Every structure is written in structure tokens, then in C-alpha cells.
Chains A and B, each alone.
Chain A
């Protein structure tokens, strides 16, 4: 029989399956990172060898490069790749708002984080005795942020000063619209991101949960996009998980859920939605027991990541017994 394979007619045996068609295209059907569609419908990998073909059907083999999130198809053990470096932890912790340096240090250790954000406006790296001492002692990577900036020019300048002061060209870019909501000012953010990328910065922008803005930020060269779950410090969780999913689906750079996390399940949900990491501060710093909450967040991020890659079951309306019902002893 003749079927259409990636736009070309090929001849296959009459009893050929979809798997045979893929093999005929020179591709191993077991390979990761490919998707196969039959007449426009995706065929699950396990069903490739048992799905029969009929004369004239259309088979498409798509390699998942670009497009989908780079890590979405990766294995659960894949390291977290951000800004051209690999990291052991997918949790990034902000250092503001802790009641004491002791609380901060214990929480950072318990979180297992490798990257911490520091407000350029609030901390002078030339001074001794600031929280930078704590971070340095723990050997963590400092990601300066532009918190407190309201215009693109202000943010760019702050980032430039930060590059000199901290000796890093990484920046968590924040351009805030007003101090009541602390929501990002999208046009200013995009303008600042474009300029900083042009100046060689590794730019990680704090953004609204807006898929279009996320795409624009990626297209100007940001190393990640960091949509909010809800306003900074609100602890209101992820208010629009659909938008986060859309952002993840479209992104070719890591998506990091930034802001709004209130408790551990919020962080787990972010990872289950396909985010590559979570950035949080208040949920830990303002908890009654920051150290314990930091440990909870570490586990939540790990759990959410594992669950994302473990292949969850579909939700069903009705029950399905987990134990077999055939062959049970009759005990009447």
C-alpha cells in the first residue's frame, strides 16, 4: 500500500504499522524527542507497533527541537541548564525579608539552592557585614536583581553598576509598574531586556504571566523567562496555570516561576506545569519557621519535577480499581 510519509509517498507492506512507517523514514521509533502523528492525531509511543496503517493515510514524524521547552522532553535526571551553566538545584531563593542573618543562612542551607538573588539597590557589595558575607560563606552564586527600578533606563543603569560591583553579567531584570502591585511594566521591561542582552548580559526577566510577552522576551535574547504566579509577596500561588502552561509550551528557554509562591504545593504545581525552576523569597523569609519552609520548598520542587517526568495518569470521572478484579477467590 502507499502512504504519505512527511509529505512523500512511500510503499509499505499491506500489514505495516505506524512503527514500520517511521522505520522506513530512517528514524528509530523508540528514540526520544520525536512525535508521530497519523492523519494529524498524535500516536502514543507505546501504540506505534500496534497501530495499523491503511492506504493513503498521512504519517508525520516531528523532531522536537526548538519549539517545545528544551527540558520538557528531557529525562528526570537532566541537570538544570540556565545561562549556559548547569545547576544541581532548580530552586532559586531571594534573600530579602529575612528577620535575621541566622534565619537567612539556615534557610539557604535547608533549601539546597545554588543561586540566590540580591537586590542591587539594597546591598552594597563594597561593605562588610552585609548578607553577601553569608552568601559567600555558603559558596552560592549571586544573581543581582534590579528591584526598585521603575523605568528601563533606571534598570539598565542599575544592572550596569551591578556588573561592576558584583563582577557578574547575570541580572534578574525587574522593572516595576507601581509599588502597590509590584507588577512588571511590560514595555519598559522589554526595552531594558533588549538593551542589556545587546550589552552582553545574561538576562533573566521577571515578567507577567503573559505568553506574548514571554515570547517577545525570548526573541530579544533573554536566557530564561520568569513569569509570576501572582504578585510579589502575595503568597497567592499560581493564579493562571493555563497561561504558565502556554508559556512553557512555546518557550525555547527555561521558564522559571517567579513570585507568588505561598506554600510548598504552589512550588510543586509550578514544576508539574513544566517550569524548569522556581524562584521564591517571602514564602520562606516570612514564614514562622523559615528553615523548615525552605526544606519543604526544596522537596516540593524536586517532587514536582519528578512528577512531571513520571508520566502522570489521566484524570477520570469514575473510579478504576487499582487491584485486579478477575480471579478473586469466591468467599461466599
Chain B
């Protein structure tokens, strides 16, 4: 594919977006035999470059988000197989680790709030075990002495999203998909309500009867009006590195304001702020200060770690925090985006859903509630 005429080319499926969602879906399609071209606009606004990589359906559960929870549980169950197959196909590790997560309250108030979440887990039938302060510290001896109680979600896992991105690119190419640089400027139709392909910002075109838009925070600009009302929600993270023997914790440790994610390779990610500031990716002193201060309260040993960097990313977020996955607009057009805090978690589910739609096979049950049309009906979308 790479050697073809760049101004006019064709494919069975064009995937706009080379983030975790776009590549996962492209791989699924390529594995099923479709000729796939992925258009990659670069890493600049890619949420998966900044994501901490928590696969945490329990910790993310909240009131009134049952549709999202269904997809999250489905996807978390798919992750071990997803990771294993990727590693088999490429020989490259993705850092998947079912490490569990300990959510800890650092004072009475935080602990009461956690207890409320734990009670919700009970109502929702989620795996969540309440621990006293002593039991928390026995489980994770690096916890600060402020720890006053919490719950452990033993099934939560983590993955290194930047590793996954790199491995997905390899796997896509091996499965026959092409990845080319470019910015998608628009979707073309054939005049009778069918998709005809896409147009790139440099004026070139790719013909295809099927197009998947997976352009994250830019999805709303390409999708039909009202089908993908997505806004950017800023998050800042700090990256630390532990030398062997310095690992501050075994599990993901989450307090009310931060999470600390330890990776097998020694990297420790502290995240994340939640800011409604549009397309702003500046890292602020205040954001870093708060992350480090709160992480230090939870796990004081992080003070000894090497500070290797910070970053700010943009979560693509819909009005109800759940993604839009499915057909939208002209026939042949699919969208997959708006994954908010759950892009890494939901990647295998999203890929399975899009793959099934492309093959006209039965889709995962939970995808029904995530249809792009849902906002137009409620009047919530602009």
C-alpha cells in the first residue's frame, strides 16, 4: 500500500485516527481479511499517549452510568485475551498486569465517601472488599499513616498504553493494514447516502465504502451534527521512575484526588487532574503540585523516585461520559470515540463491537446503549 499513488487510493475500510481505539478497530478489521488504511494525524492530541492505563471498571463505576458499566465489565473481561493475542502476533510485551487496585481514604471524610462507593459496588454486584486501616497497610506497607480504611478491587488491572500503541502498530502492519500520515478533512459520500471515502487536508482522497471515525477529541468536527458531541477534558499526569527495590506499591493506589500506578518496568504514573479548559495542554505548576502532594500523602515513598516527566492530555468526553460506538450518518460510516477516562479499558470491547458491525455479526450486548443517535433524542447535545 505504501508505494501507491498518494493522491487517489482505495481500501475496504478507512480508519481515521491512530490512537488506541482506531488501531484496535483497524487490527480487528484487518484480521478478518479487510484491506484497511489507517490515517494517522500524529501523537499531538492522542489521549492514549498520556493515559495511565488503568483497567478499572470497579473504581470508575458511578451512579446513573449503568450503560457504561456494562461495556466496562465486558471489556475488562476481554483484556487478558486481547493482550495475549497482541503479544503472540508481535512478540512484544504490552505490560498487562492484573495487579488489583486499593482505594484508600486519607481521613475520616474520604473514608466515608469511599464507603459510599463500596456500598454502591455491593448494589451493582461488583468485586470490592472493605478493609480497615490496618488491613490496608498490611496489604500495601508503603501506604502513608494517614490511611484510614478503604476497599480493594482485586480484579482491576493495568497496561502500558504507550507500549500497547506501539505493539498495535506492529500488529496492524503484520495483519496487512497500512498506516499513513495525514489529517482527515472530511467524509465523502456518493450522493445517494452512501459513504464514498475520505478527503485529507492535503487534498488527496482515499476511496472506500466504509469509514470509521476514531479521531478522539476531534471526532465531533468530522461526524454528522449531533452524533458525536465530544469535548476535551484536560488531565495532567506526572511520571516517576523506581529503581529495582524502590517500587512504592504493588497495586494501583487511589485516593480521593490521585492515583498511583506502578508498572512492572519501574515506571510510576501519578494522575490525574480533571479540567474543563478546551484544547489546552499546558502542564501547570499547580496541577503538578497537587498531584505530587496528594500522591505523597498516600504513598510517602514516592518522594524518593526519579521525576522523569509530566504531560497533559485531552480526554474525549460526551455529555454522559460514555462513548459513542456505531453507525452514524451516511451508510457505511461508523464512529468510535468519546471514551473519556475509559479509552484503554474499553479498547477491546470497542474493537469487538466495530468488528462485528463491519461483518454484520451480532454485536456485544452493551453496545446498544452507546449508539451515536442517543443525544439527538434527549436534547442534551447541541
Contact = CB atoms under 8 A, between A and B. Distances in A.
19 contacts: A99-B65, A100-B319, A100-B320, A100-B321, A101-B320, A102-B321, A105-B380, A106-B380, A122-B275, A122-B277, A123-B276, A126-B278, A127-B280, A128-B231, A128-B278, A129-B278, A234-B109, A288-B64, A289-B64
A124 B279 CA distance: 10
A102 B280 contact: no
B278 A127 contact: yes
Contacts of B318: 100
Given A133-B382, A289-B64, A124 B319 contact: no
B22 interface: no
Interface of A: 99-103, 105-106, 122-124, 126-131, 133, 137, 234, 288-289
B230 interface: yes
B359 interface: no
Interface of B: 62-65, 109, 120, 220, 230-232, 275-280, 317-321, 378, 380, 382
B85 to A, nearest CB: 33
Contact of A130 (B109, B278, B320, B378): B278
A123 B274 CA distance: 11
Nearest to A233: B109
Contacts of A106: 380
B344 to A, nearest CB: 19
Given A129-B231, A288-B63, A101 B380 contact: yes
Given A129-B231, A129-B232, A288-B63, A102 B276 contact: no
A98 to B, nearest CB: 10
A124 B277 contact: yes
A103 B64 contact: yes
Nearest to A103: B64
Nearest to A128: B278
B279 A127 contact: yes
B278 A102 contact: no
B319 A101 contact: yes
Given A124-B278, A131-B276, A102 B319 contact: yes
Contacts of A129: 220, 230-232, 278
Nearest to B107: A180
Nearest to A96: B276
A308 B257 CA distance: 40
- Interface core residue of B232, B275, B279, B380 (most chain A CB under 10 Å): B380
A188 to B, nearest CB: 18
A130 B280 CA distance: 12
Which 4 residue pairs spanning A and B have beta carbons closest together?
A127-B278, A129-B231, A288-B63, A102-B319
A122 B319 contact: no
A127 B314 CA distance: 13
B209 to A, nearest CB: 31
Contacts of B378: 102
